Amino acid sequence: MKTILITGASSGIGRAAALYFQEQGWNVIATMRSPEKETELGRLDRVLVSRLDVVREETIQEALSQGIERFGTIDVLLNNAGYAAFGAFEAASEEQIHRQFDVNVFGVFRMTQAILPHFRTNQEGTIINVSSIGGRVAFPLLTLYHASKWALEGFSESLYYELAGLKIRVKVVEPGNVHTDFTGRSLDLIRSDSLEAYKDYTETVLQKQVESFQANGSSPELIARTIYRAASDGTDQFRYLAGEDAEFVMNMRRERPDAEFMSWIAGSFR
């Protein structure tokens, strides 16, 4: 029986993945910052709910130890925890910039370094990083988020080669829009109230983003199924697009010259 450790399992994609993997007969270590608030996952067979904050090293080691003690091993690490900072880059505070990278990038670094000794001992393992099509294309007013996801893509691709000889697989799942709490816990709004030049554009883009999520977004459950395929297909495939809109946008990116593609993106937010 396989075991997966999932970060950010309290909601959205992480929670959907925890439920789906459990349904498929896997052991699940569902980690989150506030496990005391979780009332459902912990009652399921083969699910261990553990405290883990990807910016706090001590919680990472404790969650790994608890998971291995409970299930004997960990076969797959799903680096899912993350969020998006939205707003004008000029208005972003140093704290907001650092936090975006601390969670989305350095959190993945910490988790990966923590699990690798276990995978090397086992002479196998799989690391799945939840990225985004936003790691290969960009949209306005998401500069920090895109920078973090492009960093994650480069890290993952380099690590893919680095670990191949150790029989450790690295994979990236790239969702498009997802029906999660985009304007709530998953979004950090960068306030630019004092910068009048950005006010109207920010309001327009945010409204367009919300409309796009509502009209084109995939369910977290669909993304979870793509993650399961990545975890269980036994191949060395690196990238997995998730969602029809992700496929559409990436096809546009491949087929159109830069100027034409960027003009299309710009026009989508007018």
Q: Residue 187: beta bridge partners?
A: 84
In the set 131, 132, 148, 156, the catalytic residue is 131
* Structure tokens, 122: 């086992």
- What pLDDT shows up at residue 208? 87
- Catalytic: 149? yes
Q: What is the pLDDT of residues 220-261, one digit of tens each?
A: 999 999 999 999 999 999 999 999 999 999 999 999 999 999
- What pLDDT shows up at residue 173? 99
In the set 20, 83, 145, 198, the catalytic residue is 145
- Catalytic: 50? no
Instruction: Tell me which residue of 126, 101, 150, 179 sits closest to 2, measured CA to CA.
Output: 126
- What pLDDT shows up at residue 170? 99
Q: Which helix (H) or strand (E) holds 187?
A: strand 187-189
In the set 10, 83, 149, 171, the catalytic residue is 149
CA of residue 254 relative to chain centroid, distance = 23
> Could you tell me the pLDDT band of residue 209, with boundaries at 50, 70 and 90?
confident
pLDDT value at 183 more than 60: no
Tell me the C-alpha to C-alpha distance, in Å, between residue 211 and each of 5, 50, 126, 216.
33, 35, 35, 8
Q: Which helix (H) or strand (E) holds 126?
A: strand 125-130
Q: What is the pLDDT of residues 123-174, one digit of tens each?
A: 999 999 999 999 999 999 999 999 999 999 999 999 999 999 999 999 999 9
> Could you tell me the pLDDT band of residue 216, with boundaries at 50, 70 and 90?
confident
CATH number for the domain that contains residue 218: 3.40.50.720
Q: What is the pLDDT of residues 46-103, one digit of tens each?
A: 999 999 999 999 999 999 999 999 999 999 999 999 999 999 999 999 999 999 999 9
Domain span including residue 120: 3-268
CA of residue 181 relative to chain centroid, distance = 14
Global confidence as pTM: 0.95
Q: Is the torsion defined by CA of 20, 23, 27, 29 positive or negative?
A: positive
By percentage, how much of the chain surpasses pLDDT 90? 84
Computed over every residue of the chain, the mean pLDDT equals 94
Answer whether 75's CB lies under 8 Å from 126's CB: yes
pLDDT value at 268 more than 60: yes
Q: How far apart are CA 44 and CA 119, in angstroms?
A: 26
Instruction: Tell me which residue of 238, 208, 248, 241 sits closest to 222, measured CA to CA.
Output: 241
DSSP 34-84: -GGG--SGGGSTTEEEEE--TT-HHHHHHHHHHHHHHHS---EEEE----E
- Catalytic: 208? no
CA angle 15, 17, 18 (to 5 degrees): 65
> How many domains are contained in the chain?
1
